[in-house]
């Protein structure tokens, strides 16, 4: 025992003034710490489990960073309306887009040759909520007065950002009665559009 105490005193001179049992406790504490350190190294698991990323975090770091585009391809009437012209307002997550809105053109005549227009959409983390309405006019001809009307719908198209793009939509529009603030039951027109990461 005296040899152990002398060895401790040589190893840690600052313990010399302390009684023997304190020196023994110090040795026990150092030994226990060393044993714990070795155990942590030897007992370390072979691999560390990978924590799955939350869905919205994955969208933020992956899909949500892509630029999404809406392509309005045109409008078709279910009944012939010769000479009719249209102006469409698209609402995507509260942001409005006007079709047509290029080259000073404000109206497009409805027909197979309608030009498509591309719009860059605002970033979205989860989904796009899309709706449309349109104003229709028929210019005066052969002594007839010009007529205008509104097409609308209460329907929302919901496009999921994570797995719903590319998306092709056919949005049905109905006549709106401004006097009675009512939407007709009969479908009057269909608007063709798509949402894509590649607008080409």
Same domain? For 107 and 164 the reply is yes
119: nearest Cα among 188, 58, 199: 199
| pLDDT tens digits for range 18-48 | 676 666 676 676 667 777 766 777 776 665 5
Q: Over 60: is that where the pLDDT of 197 sits?
A: yes
Q: Over 60: is that where the pLDDT of 16 sits?
A: yes
Cβ–Cβ < 8 Å for 114, 105? no
Cα–Cα dist 147/160, whole Å:
38
- pLDDT above 70 covers a percentage of the chain that reads 70
pTM exceeds cut of 0.75? no
Same domain? For 74 and 10 the reply is no
Same domain? For 78 and 144 the reply is yes
Same domain? For 95 and 26 the reply is no
| Assigned domain for 143 exists | yes
| Assigned domain for 151 exists | yes
Enumerate residues 6+ apart whose C-beta is below 8 A from 191. Answer: 72, 74, 75, 88, 132, 134, 170, 171, 173
CATH of the domain at 92: 2.60.40
Q: How sure is the predictor about 59, in pLDDT bands with cuts at 50, 70 and 90?
A: very low
Domain enclosing residue 107, as ranges: 67-196
Same domain? For 159 and 80 the reply is yes
Q: Among 2-16, 97-111, 156-170, which is the least confidently predicted range?
A: 2-16
Cβ–Cβ < 8 Å for 175, 148? no
| Assigned domain for 55 exists | no
Mean pLDDT of the chain: 82
């Amino acid at each position: 025992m005296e040899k152990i105490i002398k060895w401790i005193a040589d190893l840690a001179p600052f313990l010399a003034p302390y009684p023997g049992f304190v020196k023994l406790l110090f040795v026990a504490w150092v030994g226990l710490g060393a044993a714990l350190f070795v155990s942590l190294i030897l007992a370390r698991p072979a691999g560390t489990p990978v924590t799955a990323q939350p869905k919205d975090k994955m969208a933020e770091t992956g899909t949500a960073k892509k630029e999404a585009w809406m392509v309005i391809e045109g409008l078709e009437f279910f009944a012939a309306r010769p000479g009719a012209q249209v102006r469409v307002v698209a609402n995507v997550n509260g942001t409005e887009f006007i079709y047509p809105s290029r080259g000073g053109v404000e109206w497009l005549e409805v027909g197979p040759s309608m030009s498509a227009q591309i719009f860059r959409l605002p970033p979205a983390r989860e989904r796009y909520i899309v709706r449309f309405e349109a104003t229709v006019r028929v210019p005066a001809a052969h002594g007839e007065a010009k007529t205008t009307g509104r097409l609308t719908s209460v329907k929302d198209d919901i496009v999921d950002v994570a797995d719903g793009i590319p998306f092709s939509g056919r949005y049905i529009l109905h006549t709106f009665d401004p006097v009675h603030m009512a939407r007709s039951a009969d479908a009057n027109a269909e608007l063709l559009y798509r949402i894509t990461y590649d607008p080409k």
